[in-house]
């Protein structure tokens, strides 16, 4: 039995309605990630280049992770998870742990995939090594929220740098939006460091994440709307 | 020096050219507008016909190429892919 302090998951430092707002933000993450992954899938289906495959995988994993997280969040807020904990039936806790693991590992593998899209790593047959070590780190981050967020921030920092370089190539406004979106996601993970000192950073982090998702949504709307840069 | 076009970019250029001429065009228009040699163009046109993106039509001894629904759909999807590639810098 894993000795995780699940009580921490159920304590509310903020009004309950705020956690529902967070669930809404995570749901937006699901919609945006799956929408982007769908375009990536169509691109890979037609063009068959590896970069589109990893792009598709990245946002698909991100969408699945957000889905797992929002499901877990709703279960906790509705009180079902507490039922499982109080009953102390380990088998009932498996779905909760499973969802949480999917979220942790899925997010990190998603960032590795996206980093592979922009870097030269995709050309190497050693990419599987990055996935493997990310999986290992993911397994151990279950006990350590800080480790998960710092590892994610490190991966995202590379993505932010790559996308900023891409923006500098031709000053495409859509590329700037993409870079800023990933920067928001980077700050979302980085500000966990400050959350332990000032709980208000939980609100700030999620607000920044919402901004990042809206930026991605804006880019998506330009793609589907057929608007040029 | 201009970058070489990929196969899919060439296909898109050909289909887009036909689309810009109301979906019906003579081979010479594609030859001049597509920036391809005659042999390469012939090869691509055969591939597009086999793929169902265009149809060949003979009318009063003249040949025309007509864009099919599949061809129109490819143009729209490829435009979105291009937008996505540009936006995400991939």
* Chain B residues within 8 A of A176 when measuring between CB atoms: none
- From A166's Cα to the closest Cα of chain B, the distance in A is 6
- ipTM of predicted assembly, 2 dp: 0.80
The answer to whether residues A94 and A139 touch, using CB atoms and an 8 Å cutoff, is no
CB spacing of A175 vs B86 below 8 angstroms? yes
User: In terms of Cα–Cα distance, which of B2, B11, B21 is closest to B65?
Assistant: B21
Q: What is the dihedral of CA A57, A58, A59, A64, to 10 degrees?
A: 80
Q: How many CB atoms lie within 10 A of CB A206?
A: 19
Give burial (CB, 10 Å; 0-12/13-18/19+) of A18: middle
Contacts of B86 in chain A (CB under 8 A): 172, 174-175, 229
pTM: 0.84
Exposed/middle/buried for residue B12 (C-beta within 10 Å: 0-12, 13-18, 19+) = buried
**Cα(B67)–Cα(A34) distance, integer angstroms:** 31
Inspect the interface and report whether the beta carbons of B86 and A229 lie closer than 8 Å: yes
Give the closest-approach CA distance of A15 to chain B in angstroms.
37
B81–A166 CB contact, under 8 Å: no
- Partners of residue A51 in chain B, C-beta under 8 Å: 90
In the sheet with B24-25, reading across from the earlier edge strand, the strands are B24-25, B62-67, B54-59
**Tens place of pLDDT per residue across chain A (229 aa):** 334 444 445 455 677 788 889 999 999 999 999 999 999 999 999 988 888 999 999 999 999 999 998 988 888 777 766 655 555 555 556 667 777 788 888 899 999 999 888 876 655 667 788 888 888 888 777 777 788 899 999 999 999 999 999 999 888 899 999 999 999 999 999 998 888 788 889 899 999 999 999 999 999 998 887 654 4
Task: Judge: B80–A39 Cβ closer than 8 Å, yes or no.
Answer: yes
């Amino acid at each position: 039995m894993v000795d995780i302090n699940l009580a921490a998951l159920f304590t509310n430092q903020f009004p309950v309605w705020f956690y529902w707002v967070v669930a809404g933000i995570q749901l937006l993450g699901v919609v945006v990630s799956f929408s982007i992954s769908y375009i990536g899938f169509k691109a890979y289906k037609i063009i068959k280049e590896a970069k589109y495959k990893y792009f598709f995988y990245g946002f698909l994993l991100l969408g699945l992770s957000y889905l797992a997280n929002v499901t877990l969040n709703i279960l906790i807020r509705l009180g079902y998870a507490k039922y499982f904990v109080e009953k102390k039936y380990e088998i009932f806790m498996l779905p909760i742990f499973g969802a949480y693991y999917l979220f942790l590992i899925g997010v990190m593998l998603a960032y590795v995939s996206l980093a592979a899209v922009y870097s030269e790593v995709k050309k190497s047959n050693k990419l599987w090594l990055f996935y493997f070590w990310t999986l290992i780190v993911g397994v151990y981050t279950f006990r350590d929220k800080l480790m998960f967020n710092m590892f994610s921030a490190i991966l995202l920092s590379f993505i932010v740098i790559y996308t900023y370089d891409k923006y500098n190539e031709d000053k495409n406004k859509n590329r700037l939006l993409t870079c800023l979106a990933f920067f928001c996601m980077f700050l979302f993970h980085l500000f966990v460091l400050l959350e332990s000192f000032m709980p208000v950073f939980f609100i700030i982090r999620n607000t920044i994440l919402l901004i990042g998702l809206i930026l991605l949504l804006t880019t998506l709307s330009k793609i589907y709307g057929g608007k040029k840069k | 020096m201009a970058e070489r076009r990929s196969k899919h970019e060439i296909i898109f250029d050909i289909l887009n050219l036909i689309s810009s001429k109301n979906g019906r065009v003579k081979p010479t228009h594609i030859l001049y507008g597509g920036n391809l040699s005659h042999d390469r163009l012939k090869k691509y046109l055969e591939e597009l016909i086999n793929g169902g993106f265009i149809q060949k039509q003979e009318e009063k001894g003249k040949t025309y190429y007509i864009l099919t629904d599949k061809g129109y759909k490819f143009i729209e999807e490829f435009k979105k892919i291009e937008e996505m590639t540009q936006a995400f810098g991939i």
